Amino acid sequence: MGSTIGDIGEFGLIARVTAKFPQTENVIIGPGDDAAVVRAADGRVVATTDLLVEGRHFRRDWSSARDVGHKAAAQNLADVAAMGARPTALLVGLAAPPDLPTAWTDELSEGLSAECALAGAAVVGGDVVRADTVTLAITALGDLGGRAAVRRDGARPGDLVAVNGTLGRSAAGLALLRAGADGPAECLAAHRRPRPPYPEGPRAADLGATAMLDVSDGLVQDLGHVAAASGVAIALREEALPADPVLEEAVRVLAGLGAAPPRAAAFMLAGGEDHAMAAAFPAGTRLPAGWTEIGAVTEGDGVTVDGAVPPRGGWDHFG
């Protein structure tokens, strides 16, 4: 039988876990001291934080510890990229029962480290405490590299609205898991390990994006935050959403299981946790490969799809 975190204690666990975290050139002092020291060449630091609670944000019977590490890092690193910054560092707080196997925390560390490597960041420290439920508290830092931060309140009538990354696959993956399905594998993977397009945040900023965020709570709900902050309306066109045969297959699988799934487009509009980038750009902006124009900013308020207000959907943090 393997060891548990209760067997080796807090400091033993921290030493075991942090040994797995390689550092980057942005890190001057990494794990091991009272605090880390991270370069901030721009003179400004982008910071964000998130909580993941077992049973609410992940299930150990559906996701491996490595999956959880990838997901925890991704949702925070994506927030940094959505401000137009390049992620630099991650701080991790772990609360867990003392009988949690150390093998699980080792795999968690590997997932965190691997996702950071994809974004060019590093885990620089954290803390471990006892709790009844496995909970992760993640803080991500980033560097704007001389750019102005891209906020939610800069969209103006006449701007185009575009997305980069997959939409709806994570929500479909969750529905598949709940239905007991074993595919499509791409949707299950999207739920367990979202793949944010990290470089596209800074690229959008360099292109002159007027507003931006990552799609964490659902495309319509998140663009609603942009509309409210900017004092505008956003008109989306369903036919402009990127075609996704994998998502169509997921709908067919769910229907075959009697799950009465929504249409693929509904998953795209209301599903969250894919962490695609959604941004507004000045009219006439020539979008690079990977970006798809899906609508426009207009006078008014709220978000419409083909002229109609869509049903309420997306992630509810207290639902």
Q: Are 167 and 276 in contact (CB under 8 A)?
A: yes
Q: Rounded distance, CA 269 to CA 305, Å?
A: 9
Point out the annotated binding site for substrate. Answer: 57, 273, 315
Point out the annotated binding site for Mg(2+). Answer: 34, 48-50, 79, 127, 214, 217
**Residue ranges of the alpha helices (H) in the chain?**
5-18, 65-82, 102-119, 169-179, 185-192, 200-206, 219-230, 245-256, 264-270
Query: How many angstroms separate the Cα of 170 from the Cα of each of 153, 192, 206, 207, 293?
Result: 27, 8, 28, 28, 21
Q: Rounded distance, CA 193 to CA 175, Å?
A: 15
Report the candidate in 261, 14, 36, 295 with the shortest Cα–Cα distance to residue 161: 295
Point out the annotated binding site for ATP. Answer: 126-127, 152, 216
Q: Are 38 and 27 in contact (CB under 8 A)?
A: yes
Point out the annotated binding site. Answer: 34, 48-50, 57, 79, 126-127, 152, 214, 216-217, 273, 315
How many CA atoms does the CB half-sphere of 100 hold within 13 Å?
Answer: 25
Q: Rounded distance, CA 227 to CA 204, Å?
A: 18
